[in-house]
Protein backbone atom coordinates (compact mmCIF):
# COMPACT_ATOMS: atom_id res chain seq x y z
CA UNK A 1 0.00 0.00 0.00
CA UNK A 2 1.27 3.44 -0.94
CA UNK A 3 0.78 6.66 1.00
CA UNK A 4 -1.95 8.99 -0.22
CA UNK A 5 0.59 11.64 -1.09
CA UNK A 6 2.24 9.47 -3.76
CA UNK A 7 -0.89 8.57 -5.74
CA UNK A 8 -2.92 11.00 -7.84
CA UNK A 9 -6.35 9.54 -8.55
CA UNK A 10 -8.30 10.95 -11.49
CA UNK A 11 -12.03 10.22 -11.89
CA UNK A 12 -14.31 10.85 -14.84
CA UNK A 13 -16.96 13.28 -13.63
CA UNK A 14 -20.26 12.92 -15.50
CA UNK A 15 -21.17 16.43 -14.35
CA UNK A 16 -18.38 17.97 -16.45
CA UNK A 17 -17.67 15.18 -18.91
CA UNK A 18 -13.94 15.07 -18.14
CA UNK A 19 -11.48 13.34 -15.82
CA UNK A 20 -10.62 15.44 -12.80
CA UNK A 21 -8.09 15.12 -9.99
CA UNK A 22 -9.78 13.58 -6.98
CA UNK A 23 -9.34 15.65 -3.83
CA UNK A 24 -11.74 14.73 -1.01
CA UNK A 25 -13.65 17.48 0.74
CA UNK A 26 -12.27 16.28 4.09
CA UNK A 27 -8.67 15.34 3.21
CA UNK A 28 -8.32 11.65 4.18
CA UNK A 29 -12.05 10.90 4.50
CA UNK A 30 -14.30 10.08 1.54
CA UNK A 31 -18.10 10.17 1.43
CA UNK A 32 -19.62 7.98 -1.30
CA UNK A 33 -23.30 7.39 -2.04
CA UNK A 34 -24.47 4.76 -4.54
CA UNK A 35 -28.07 4.20 -5.57
CA UNK A 36 -29.06 0.71 -4.50
CA UNK A 37 -31.76 -1.66 -5.77
CA UNK A 38 -35.53 -1.45 -5.73
CA UNK A 39 -36.24 -4.76 -4.02
CA UNK A 40 -39.25 -6.13 -5.89
CA UNK A 41 -37.51 -8.88 -7.92
CA UNK A 42 -34.24 -10.79 -8.10
CA UNK A 43 -31.25 -8.57 -8.75
CA UNK A 44 -30.27 -8.81 -12.41
CA UNK A 45 -26.79 -9.11 -13.85
CA UNK A 46 -26.66 -5.51 -15.10
CA UNK A 47 -27.30 -4.24 -11.57
CA UNK A 48 -24.58 -6.55 -10.31
CA UNK A 49 -22.11 -5.03 -12.74
CA UNK A 50 -22.88 -1.57 -11.32
CA UNK A 51 -22.41 -2.70 -7.72
CA UNK A 52 -19.20 -4.57 -8.58
CA UNK A 53 -17.90 -1.41 -10.29
CA UNK A 54 -18.45 0.66 -7.15
CA UNK A 55 -17.06 -2.14 -5.01
CA UNK A 56 -13.82 -1.59 -6.94
CA UNK A 57 -13.96 2.17 -6.24
CA UNK A 58 -14.60 1.47 -2.56
CA UNK A 59 -11.83 -1.14 -2.34
CA UNK A 60 -9.22 1.00 -4.08
CA UNK A 61 -9.86 4.14 -2.05
CA UNK A 62 -9.69 2.09 1.15
CA UNK A 63 -6.54 0.40 -0.15
CA UNK A 64 -4.93 3.82 -0.64
CA UNK A 65 -5.62 4.62 2.98
CA UNK A 66 -8.75 6.75 2.77
CA UNK A 67 -11.41 6.38 5.44
CA UNK A 68 -14.47 5.77 3.25
CA UNK A 69 -18.09 6.06 4.36
CA UNK A 70 -19.97 4.14 1.68
CA UNK A 71 -23.75 4.61 1.77
CA UNK A 72 -25.94 2.47 -0.50
CA UNK A 73 -29.70 2.67 -0.11
CA UNK A 74 -32.44 0.08 -0.39
CA UNK A 75 -35.56 1.37 -2.18
CA UNK A 76 -38.47 -0.36 -0.49
CA UNK A 77 -41.20 2.22 -1.22
CA UNK A 78 -42.05 5.04 -3.59
CA UNK A 79 -40.66 3.66 -6.87
CA UNK A 80 -43.60 3.70 -9.28
CA UNK A 81 -43.61 1.20 -12.13
CA UNK A 82 -43.13 3.76 -14.94
CA UNK A 83 -40.33 5.67 -13.13
CA UNK A 84 -42.55 8.76 -13.23
CA UNK A 85 -45.33 9.98 -10.98
CA UNK A 86 -48.15 7.70 -12.08
CA UNK A 87 -48.85 3.99 -11.92
CA UNK A 88 -48.52 1.44 -9.15
CA UNK A 89 -45.70 1.11 -6.64
CA UNK A 90 -43.44 -1.72 -7.89
CA UNK A 91 -43.29 -3.41 -4.51
CA UNK A 92 -47.01 -3.06 -3.83
CA UNK A 93 -47.73 -4.48 -7.27
CA UNK A 94 -45.52 -7.52 -6.62
CA UNK A 95 -47.19 -8.00 -3.22
CA UNK A 96 -50.62 -7.95 -4.87
CA UNK A 97 -49.54 -10.47 -7.51
CA UNK A 98 -47.93 -12.83 -5.00
CA UNK A 99 -50.69 -12.23 -2.41
CA UNK A 100 -48.26 -11.37 0.36
CA UNK A 101 -47.44 -8.28 2.41
CA UNK A 102 -45.23 -5.63 0.74
CA UNK A 103 -42.62 -6.04 3.47
CA UNK A 104 -42.48 -9.75 2.67
CA UNK A 105 -41.56 -8.80 -0.88
CA UNK A 106 -38.94 -6.40 0.46
CA UNK A 107 -37.45 -9.00 2.81
CA UNK A 108 -37.39 -11.74 0.17
CA UNK A 109 -35.57 -9.72 -2.46
CA UNK A 110 -33.30 -7.86 -0.05
CA UNK A 111 -32.02 -11.24 1.11
CA UNK A 112 -31.54 -12.30 -2.51
CA UNK A 113 -29.64 -9.08 -3.23
CA UNK A 114 -27.28 -9.56 -0.30
CA UNK A 115 -26.70 -13.25 -1.03
CA UNK A 116 -25.90 -12.54 -4.67
CA UNK A 117 -23.44 -9.74 -3.90
CA UNK A 118 -21.80 -11.93 -1.26
CA UNK A 119 -21.20 -14.57 -3.94
CA UNK A 120 -19.56 -11.85 -6.04
CA UNK A 121 -17.32 -11.04 -3.04
CA UNK A 122 -18.38 -7.40 -2.81
CA UNK A 123 -17.73 -5.60 0.45
CA UNK A 124 -20.85 -4.46 2.34
CA UNK A 125 -21.40 -0.69 2.48
CA UNK A 126 -20.76 1.28 5.65
CA UNK A 127 -24.46 2.16 5.90
CA UNK A 128 -27.39 0.63 4.03
CA UNK A 129 -30.47 2.75 4.82
CA UNK A 130 -33.98 2.04 3.57
CA UNK A 131 -36.61 4.41 2.21
CA UNK A 132 -39.25 3.24 4.71
CA UNK A 133 -36.80 3.75 7.56
CA UNK A 134 -36.38 7.42 6.62
CA UNK A 135 -39.91 8.71 6.04
CA UNK A 136 -39.45 11.36 8.74
CA UNK A 137 -36.27 12.65 7.09
CA UNK A 138 -37.96 12.75 3.69
CA UNK A 139 -40.86 14.78 5.06
CA UNK A 140 -38.37 17.25 6.56
CA UNK A 141 -36.61 17.65 3.19
CA UNK A 142 -39.97 18.38 1.54
CA UNK A 143 -40.65 21.06 4.15
CA UNK A 144 -37.27 22.67 3.38
CA UNK A 145 -37.95 22.66 -0.37
CA UNK A 146 -41.39 24.19 0.19
CA UNK A 147 -39.89 26.88 2.43
CA UNK A 148 -37.30 27.65 -0.24
CA UNK A 149 -40.14 28.21 -2.71
CA UNK A 150 -39.28 25.40 -5.14
CA UNK A 151 -42.31 23.18 -4.52
CA UNK A 152 -46.09 23.40 -4.36
CA UNK A 153 -48.94 21.35 -2.94
CA UNK A 154 -51.98 20.21 -4.89
CA UNK A 155 -54.71 18.10 -3.25
CA UNK A 156 -52.38 16.40 -0.78
CA UNK A 157 -49.51 15.84 -3.21
CA UNK A 158 -46.34 17.92 -3.33
CA UNK A 159 -44.39 18.56 -6.55
CA UNK A 160 -41.01 20.08 -7.27
CA UNK A 161 -41.31 23.19 -9.46
CA UNK A 162 -38.70 22.55 -12.15
CA UNK A 163 -39.37 25.72 -14.15
CA UNK A 164 -39.01 27.96 -11.11
CA UNK A 165 -35.85 26.13 -10.04
CA UNK A 166 -34.38 26.57 -13.52
CA UNK A 167 -34.61 30.36 -13.18
CA UNK A 168 -31.84 30.39 -10.57
CA UNK A 169 -30.03 27.14 -11.40
CA UNK A 170 -29.79 24.67 -14.29
CA UNK A 171 -32.07 21.67 -14.49
CA UNK A 172 -30.45 19.19 -16.88
CA UNK A 173 -26.80 20.02 -16.15
CA UNK A 174 -25.92 16.35 -15.52
CA UNK A 175 -27.65 14.75 -18.49
CA UNK A 176 -26.98 17.64 -20.86
CA UNK A 177 -30.68 18.18 -21.51
CA UNK A 178 -32.14 21.65 -21.91
CA UNK A 179 -35.40 22.41 -20.15
CA UNK A 180 -36.62 24.40 -23.17
CA UNK A 181 -36.23 21.31 -25.36
CA UNK A 182 -37.98 19.12 -22.81
CA UNK A 183 -40.91 21.54 -22.69
CA UNK A 184 -41.02 21.74 -26.49
CA UNK A 185 -41.08 17.95 -26.84
CA UNK A 186 -43.81 17.44 -24.25
CA UNK A 187 -46.99 16.00 -25.70
CA UNK A 188 -48.99 15.86 -22.49
CA UNK A 189 -52.59 16.96 -22.86
CA UNK A 190 -53.76 19.80 -20.65
CA UNK A 191 -55.68 18.51 -17.64
CA UNK A 192 -54.18 15.02 -17.83
CA UNK A 193 -52.08 15.63 -14.73
CA UNK A 194 -52.48 17.70 -11.60
CA UNK A 195 -48.91 18.98 -11.95
CA UNK A 196 -48.47 22.61 -13.01
CA UNK A 197 -45.86 21.57 -15.57
CA UNK A 198 -45.18 18.15 -17.11
CA UNK A 199 -41.50 18.38 -16.11
CA UNK A 200 -42.30 18.77 -12.41
CA UNK A 201 -41.76 15.65 -10.30
CA UNK A 202 -43.38 14.31 -7.16
CA UNK A 203 -41.92 14.84 -3.72
CA UNK A 204 -44.98 13.39 -1.97
CA UNK A 205 -47.97 11.58 -3.45
CA UNK A 206 -51.38 11.38 -1.82
CA UNK A 207 -52.26 7.69 -1.61
CA UNK A 208 -55.37 6.45 -3.35
CA UNK A 209 -57.68 4.25 -1.24
CA UNK A 210 -56.28 1.06 -2.79
CA UNK A 211 -52.63 2.03 -2.20
CA UNK A 212 -51.21 -0.30 0.46
CA UNK A 213 -48.03 1.53 1.42
CA UNK A 214 -48.85 4.89 3.06
CA UNK A 215 -47.64 7.14 5.84
CA UNK A 216 -49.09 10.25 7.52
CA UNK A 217 -47.65 13.62 6.54
CA UNK A 218 -48.64 17.31 6.88
CA UNK A 219 -50.18 17.10 3.39
CA UNK A 220 -51.92 13.71 3.28
CA UNK A 221 -51.63 10.04 3.99
CA UNK A 222 -49.31 9.08 1.18
CA UNK A 223 -45.81 8.08 0.18
CA UNK A 224 -42.59 9.82 -0.90
CA UNK A 225 -41.45 10.28 -4.48
CA UNK A 226 -38.69 7.96 -5.66
CA UNK A 227 -36.06 10.69 -6.10
CA UNK A 228 -36.53 12.08 -2.61
CA UNK A 229 -35.13 9.19 -0.55
CA UNK A 230 -31.60 9.54 -1.93
CA UNK A 231 -31.50 13.25 -1.08
CA UNK A 232 -32.77 12.60 2.44
CA UNK A 233 -30.39 9.74 3.16
CA UNK A 234 -27.28 11.13 1.48
CA UNK A 235 -27.58 14.45 3.33
CA UNK A 236 -28.25 12.70 6.65
CA UNK A 237 -25.18 10.47 6.49
CA UNK A 238 -22.79 12.43 4.26
CA UNK A 239 -23.84 16.09 4.52
CA UNK A 240 -25.18 18.57 1.98
CA UNK A 241 -22.14 17.98 -0.24
CA UNK A 242 -20.02 14.85 -0.39
CA UNK A 243 -17.35 13.39 -2.66
CA UNK A 244 -18.82 10.73 -4.95
CA UNK A 245 -22.33 9.86 -6.08
CA UNK A 246 -22.58 6.69 -8.14
CA UNK A 247 -25.11 4.60 -9.99
CA UNK A 248 -25.99 3.04 -13.31
CA UNK A 249 -25.99 5.11 -16.50
CA UNK A 250 -29.78 4.69 -16.69
CA UNK A 251 -30.18 6.74 -13.50
CA UNK A 252 -28.54 9.86 -14.90
CA UNK A 253 -31.95 11.14 -16.01
CA UNK A 254 -34.33 11.70 -14.38
CA UNK A 255 -33.25 10.25 -11.03
CA UNK A 256 -29.88 11.89 -10.50
CA UNK A 257 -30.97 15.07 -12.23
CA UNK A 258 -33.82 15.36 -9.73
CA UNK A 259 -31.47 14.63 -6.84
CA UNK A 260 -29.27 17.53 -7.90
CA UNK A 261 -32.28 19.84 -8.09
CA UNK A 262 -33.52 18.79 -4.64
CA UNK A 263 -30.06 19.16 -3.10
CA UNK A 264 -29.47 22.60 -4.57
CA UNK A 265 -32.94 23.71 -3.50
CA UNK A 266 -32.21 23.02 0.17
CA UNK A 267 -28.53 23.99 0.38
CA UNK A 268 -27.56 25.86 -2.82
CA UNK A 269 -24.85 23.20 -3.30
CA UNK A 270 -24.61 20.42 -5.86
CA UNK A 271 -24.89 17.29 -3.64
CA UNK A 272 -21.75 15.54 -4.91
CA UNK A 273 -18.48 16.79 -6.38
CA UNK A 274 -18.11 13.71 -8.59
CA UNK A 275 -20.99 11.97 -10.37
CA UNK A 276 -19.87 8.55 -11.53
CA UNK A 277 -21.89 6.22 -13.77
CA UNK A 278 -21.37 2.58 -14.71
CA UNK A 279 -22.43 1.52 -18.19
CA UNK A 280 -24.82 -1.22 -19.21
CA UNK A 281 -24.33 -4.95 -19.71
CA UNK A 282 -25.66 -6.53 -22.91
CA UNK A 283 -26.21 -10.20 -23.70
CA UNK A 284 -25.10 -11.65 -27.03
CA UNK A 285 -24.94 -8.14 -28.48
CA UNK A 286 -28.48 -7.16 -27.46
CA UNK A 287 -30.06 -5.33 -24.55
CA UNK A 288 -31.15 -7.62 -21.75
CA UNK A 289 -34.94 -7.90 -21.46
CA UNK A 290 -37.19 -10.45 -19.80
CA UNK A 291 -39.85 -9.82 -22.44
CA UNK A 292 -37.62 -11.07 -25.28
CA UNK A 293 -36.00 -13.92 -23.37
CA UNK A 294 -32.59 -12.28 -23.82
CA UNK A 295 -31.97 -12.25 -20.10
CA UNK A 296 -29.98 -14.20 -17.55
CA UNK A 297 -29.85 -14.02 -13.75
CA UNK A 298 -26.65 -14.44 -11.72
CA UNK A 299 -27.68 -17.77 -10.18
CA UNK A 300 -28.52 -19.09 -13.65
CA UNK A 301 -24.90 -18.47 -14.63
CA UNK A 302 -23.54 -20.01 -11.43
CA UNK A 303 -25.54 -23.25 -11.67
CA UNK A 304 -25.82 -23.50 -15.46
CA UNK A 305 -29.64 -23.53 -15.46
CA UNK A 306 -30.06 -21.46 -18.61
CA UNK A 307 -30.24 -21.92 -22.37
CA UNK A 308 -27.68 -19.20 -23.17
CA UNK A 309 -24.45 -20.50 -21.60
CA UNK A 310 -23.24 -23.99 -22.45
CA UNK A 311 -22.24 -24.65 -18.84
CA UNK A 312 -21.99 -23.05 -15.42
CA UNK A 313 -19.46 -20.35 -14.55
CA UNK A 314 -18.44 -19.40 -11.02
CA UNK A 315 -19.11 -16.01 -9.37
CA UNK A 316 -15.36 -15.27 -9.32
CA UNK A 317 -15.02 -15.93 -13.06
CA UNK A 318 -18.10 -13.77 -13.72
CA UNK A 319 -16.65 -10.97 -11.60
CA UNK A 320 -13.32 -11.28 -13.43
CA UNK A 321 -15.17 -11.11 -16.75
CA UNK A 322 -16.83 -7.84 -15.73
CA UNK A 323 -13.54 -6.29 -14.62
CA UNK A 324 -11.95 -6.93 -18.01
CA UNK A 325 -13.90 -3.96 -19.39
CA UNK A 326 -13.79 -0.40 -18.06
CA UNK A 327 -16.81 0.44 -15.94
CA UNK A 328 -17.83 3.26 -18.34
CA UNK A 329 -17.82 0.93 -21.37
CA UNK A 330 -20.73 -1.18 -22.60
CA UNK A 331 -19.89 -4.82 -21.87
CA UNK A 332 -21.37 -7.77 -23.76
CA UNK A 333 -21.61 -11.14 -22.06
CA UNK A 334 -21.69 -14.37 -24.07
CA UNK A 335 -20.69 -17.99 -23.68
CA UNK A 336 -17.45 -17.47 -25.65
CA UNK A 337 -16.53 -14.43 -23.57
CA UNK A 338 -17.10 -16.36 -20.35
CA UNK A 339 -15.01 -19.31 -21.54
CA UNK A 340 -12.14 -16.96 -22.37
CA UNK A 341 -12.48 -15.23 -18.98
CA UNK A 342 -12.42 -18.55 -17.17
CA UNK A 343 -9.12 -19.47 -18.84
CA UNK A 344 -7.63 -16.08 -18.01
CA UNK A 345 -8.87 -16.24 -14.42
CA UNK A 346 -7.34 -19.70 -13.92
CA UNK A 347 -4.05 -18.56 -15.38
CA UNK A 348 -3.94 -15.55 -13.05
CA UNK A 349 -4.82 -17.56 -9.96
CA UNK A 350 -2.25 -20.26 -10.77
CA UNK A 351 0.41 -17.55 -11.08
CA UNK A 352 -0.53 -16.15 -7.64
CA UNK A 353 -0.03 -19.62 -6.12
CA UNK A 354 3.08 -20.31 -8.18
CA UNK A 355 4.74 -17.03 -7.18
CA UNK A 356 5.10 -18.40 -3.65
CA UNK A 357 7.10 -21.42 -4.86
CA UNK A 358 9.68 -19.84 -7.18
CA UNK A 359 13.33 -19.75 -6.18
CA UNK A 360 15.33 -16.56 -5.94
CA UNK A 361 18.75 -15.79 -7.38
CA UNK A 362 21.48 -14.00 -5.49
CA UNK A 363 21.20 -10.52 -7.00
CA UNK A 364 19.74 -10.14 -10.47
CA UNK A 365 16.14 -9.74 -11.60
CA UNK A 366 15.06 -10.00 -15.24
CA UNK A 367 11.98 -7.82 -14.64
CA UNK A 368 11.58 -4.22 -13.50
CA UNK A 369 9.40 -5.00 -10.49
CA UNK A 370 9.17 -1.45 -9.11
CA UNK A 371 8.19 -0.02 -12.48
CA UNK A 372 5.59 -2.77 -12.90
CA UNK A 373 4.22 -2.04 -9.44
CA UNK A 374 3.74 1.66 -10.23
CA UNK A 375 2.05 0.76 -13.52
CA UNK A 376 -0.53 -1.18 -11.49
CA UNK A 377 -1.19 1.92 -9.39
CA UNK A 378 -1.23 4.12 -12.49
CA UNK A 379 -3.97 1.99 -14.05
CA UNK A 380 -6.22 2.30 -11.02
CA UNK A 381 -5.37 5.98 -10.57
CA UNK A 382 -6.65 6.56 -14.11
CA UNK A 383 -10.39 6.37 -13.38
CA UNK A 384 -10.19 2.84 -11.90
CA UNK A 385 -9.04 1.27 -15.16
CA UNK A 386 -9.33 -2.43 -14.28
CA UNK A 387 -8.66 -3.78 -17.81
CA UNK A 388 -5.29 -2.00 -17.91
CA UNK A 389 -4.53 -3.24 -14.41
CA UNK A 390 -5.34 -6.82 -15.47
CA UNK A 391 -3.08 -6.46 -18.51
CA UNK A 392 -0.27 -5.36 -16.18
CA UNK A 393 -0.95 -8.31 -13.88
CA UNK A 394 -0.56 -10.67 -16.83
CA UNK A 395 2.87 -9.18 -17.52
CA UNK A 396 3.77 -10.50 -14.08
CA UNK A 397 2.07 -13.83 -14.84
CA UNK A 398 4.32 -14.31 -17.88
CA UNK A 399 7.39 -13.45 -15.82
CA UNK A 400 6.39 -15.91 -13.08
CA UNK A 401 5.99 -18.64 -15.67
CA UNK A 402 9.49 -17.84 -16.96
CA UNK A 403 10.81 -18.04 -13.40
CA UNK A 404 9.18 -21.41 -12.90
CA UNK A 405 10.61 -22.66 -16.17
CA UNK A 406 14.09 -21.48 -15.31
CA UNK A 407 14.08 -18.87 -18.08
CA UNK A 408 14.37 -15.86 -15.74
CA UNK A 409 15.79 -14.88 -12.36
CA UNK A 410 14.66 -12.69 -9.47
CA UNK A 411 16.24 -11.37 -6.27
CA UNK A 412 14.79 -12.03 -2.83
CA UNK A 413 13.68 -8.42 -2.28
CA UNK A 414 12.10 -8.17 -5.72
CA UNK A 415 10.24 -11.44 -5.16
CA UNK A 416 8.78 -10.10 -1.90
CA UNK A 417 7.66 -6.94 -3.71
CA UNK A 418 6.24 -8.95 -6.60
CA UNK A 419 4.28 -11.28 -4.32
CA UNK A 420 2.89 -8.56 -2.05
CA UNK A 421 1.87 -6.36 -5.00
CA UNK A 422 0.25 -9.27 -6.81
CA UNK A 423 -1.72 -10.17 -3.68
CA UNK A 424 -2.70 -6.55 -3.04
CA UNK A 425 -4.12 -5.92 -6.49
CA UNK A 426 -5.63 -9.35 -7.18
CA UNK A 427 -7.19 -9.89 -3.76
CA UNK A 428 -7.62 -6.51 -2.05
CA UNK A 429 -8.32 -4.26 -5.04
CA UNK A 430 -9.98 -6.53 -7.62
CA UNK A 431 -11.58 -8.69 -4.93
CA UNK A 432 -10.82 -11.95 -6.76
CA UNK A 433 -10.78 -15.21 -4.82
CA UNK A 434 -9.56 -18.60 -6.00
CA UNK A 435 -12.81 -20.53 -5.60
CA UNK A 436 -11.41 -23.62 -7.26
CA UNK A 437 -8.55 -23.58 -4.82
CA UNK A 438 -10.90 -23.16 -1.88
CA UNK A 439 -13.16 -26.03 -2.96
CA UNK A 440 -10.63 -28.57 -4.21
CA UNK A 441 -7.29 -27.74 -2.63
CA UNK A 442 -7.51 -30.22 0.22
CA UNK A 443 -8.41 -33.10 -2.06
CA UNK A 444 -5.93 -32.22 -4.80
CA UNK A 445 -3.08 -31.46 -2.42
CA UNK A 446 -3.66 -34.72 -0.58
CA UNK A 447 -3.65 -36.76 -3.78
CA UNK A 448 -0.61 -34.93 -5.16
CA UNK A 449 1.32 -35.35 -1.92
CA UNK A 450 0.80 -39.09 -2.14
CA UNK A 451 1.84 -39.26 -5.81
CA UNK A 452 4.93 -37.11 -5.21
CA UNK A 453 5.87 -39.30 -2.25
CA UNK A 454 5.50 -42.48 -4.35
CA UNK A 455 7.57 -40.94 -7.13
CA UNK A 456 10.30 -39.86 -4.69
CA UNK A 457 10.39 -43.37 -3.25
CA UNK A 458 10.80 -44.77 -6.75
CA UNK A 459 13.60 -42.33 -7.51
CA UNK A 460 15.37 -43.18 -4.26
CA UNK A 461 15.19 -46.84 -5.27
CA UNK A 462 16.49 -45.83 -8.73
CA UNK A 463 13.25 -47.14 -10.21
CA UNK A 464 13.25 -44.43 -12.87
CA UNK A 465 10.72 -46.27 -15.02
CA UNK A 466 8.03 -45.87 -12.33
CA UNK A 467 9.19 -42.34 -11.49
CA UNK A 468 8.95 -41.22 -15.12
CA UNK A 469 5.62 -43.00 -15.56
CA UNK A 470 4.07 -40.96 -12.69
CA UNK A 471 5.53 -37.72 -14.06
CA UNK A 472 4.37 -38.41 -17.64
CA UNK A 473 0.89 -39.53 -16.55
CA UNK A 474 0.42 -36.31 -14.59
CA UNK A 475 1.73 -34.27 -17.53
CA UNK A 476 -0.85 -35.87 -19.80
CA UNK A 477 -3.70 -34.67 -17.58
CA UNK A 478 -2.32 -31.12 -17.27
CA UNK A 479 -0.27 -31.35 -14.07
CA UNK A 480 3.38 -30.34 -14.27
CA UNK A 481 5.92 -31.44 -11.66
CA UNK A 482 8.95 -29.27 -10.85
CA UNK A 483 11.84 -30.77 -8.93
CA UNK A 484 13.46 -28.14 -6.72
CA UNK A 485 16.61 -28.35 -4.64
CA UNK A 486 14.64 -29.41 -1.55
CA UNK A 487 11.25 -30.61 -2.69
CA UNK A 488 8.93 -31.22 -5.65
CA UNK A 489 6.04 -28.87 -6.46
CA UNK A 490 3.26 -29.00 -9.04
CA UNK A 491 1.28 -26.59 -11.20
CA UNK A 492 -1.91 -26.99 -13.21
CA UNK A 493 -1.55 -26.39 -16.93
CA UNK A 494 -4.47 -24.90 -18.89
Residue 62 has pLDDT above 70, yes or no: yes
Structure confidence by residue, pLDDT tens digits, 29-39: 999 999 999 99
Domain boundary among 278, 305, 331: 278
Is the pTM value of this prediction over 0.75? yes
What is the Cα 242 distance to its own chain's centre? 19
The tally of domains found in the chain comes to 3
CA atoms of 473 and 458, how far apart (whole Å): 15
pLDDT (0 to 100) of residue 45: 94
Residues 326 and 457 in one domain: no
Residues 474 and 330 in one domain: no
CA atoms of 8 and 20, how far apart (whole Å): 10
Residues 286 and 391 in one domain: yes
Residues 274 and 192 in one domain: yes
Residue in 45, 107, 33 with CA at minimum distance from that of residue 69: 33
Residue 402 belongs to domain with CATH number: 1.10.730.10
CA atoms of 235 and 167, how far apart (whole Å): 24
Residue in 254, 340, 333, 264 with CA at minimum distance from that of residue 295: 333
Q: How confident is the model at residue 410 (pLDDT cuts 50, 70, 90)?
A: very high
Residue 462 has pLDDT above 70, yes or no: yes
Residues 395 and 343 in one domain: yes
Structure confidence by residue, pLDDT tens digits, 156-193: 999 999 999 999 999 999 999 999 999 888 765 445 67
Residues 233 and 291 in one domain: no
Domain boundary among 241, 261, 278: 278
**Average pLDDT of the chain, as a whole number:** 92
CA atoms of 119 and 317, how far apart (whole Å): 11
CA atoms of 48 and 340, how far apart (whole Å): 20
Residue 492 has pLDDT above 90, yes or no: no
Domain limits for position 247: 4-278
Residue 18 belongs to domain with CATH number: 3.40.50.620
Q: 292 with 266: CB under 8 angstroms?
A: no
Q: How confident is the model at residue 489 (pLDDT cuts 50, 70, 90)?
A: confident
Domain boundary among 278, 294, 318: 278
Residue in 396, 398, 399, 380 with CA at minimum distance from that of residue 388: 380
Query: Helices 412-423 and 369-381: crossing angle, nearest 10°?
Result: 20
pLDDT (0 to 100) of residue 277: 98
Q: How confident is the model at residue 293 (pLDDT cuts 50, 70, 90)?
A: confident
Amino acid sequence: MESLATQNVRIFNSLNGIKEDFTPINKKSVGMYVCGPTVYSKVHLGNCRTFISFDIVYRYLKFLGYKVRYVRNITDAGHLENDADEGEDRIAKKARIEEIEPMEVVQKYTVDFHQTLTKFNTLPPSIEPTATGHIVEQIEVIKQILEAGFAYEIDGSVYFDVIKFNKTSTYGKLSGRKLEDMIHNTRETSGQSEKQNPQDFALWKRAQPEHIMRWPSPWSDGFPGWHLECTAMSTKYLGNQFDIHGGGMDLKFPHHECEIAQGEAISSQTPAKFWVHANMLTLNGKKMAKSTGNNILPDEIFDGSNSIMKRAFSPAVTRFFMLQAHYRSVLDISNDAMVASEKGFSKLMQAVVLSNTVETSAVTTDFDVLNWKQKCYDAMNDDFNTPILIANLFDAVKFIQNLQGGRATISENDLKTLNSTLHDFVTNVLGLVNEEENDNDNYLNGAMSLLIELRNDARNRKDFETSDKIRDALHNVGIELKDGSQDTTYTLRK
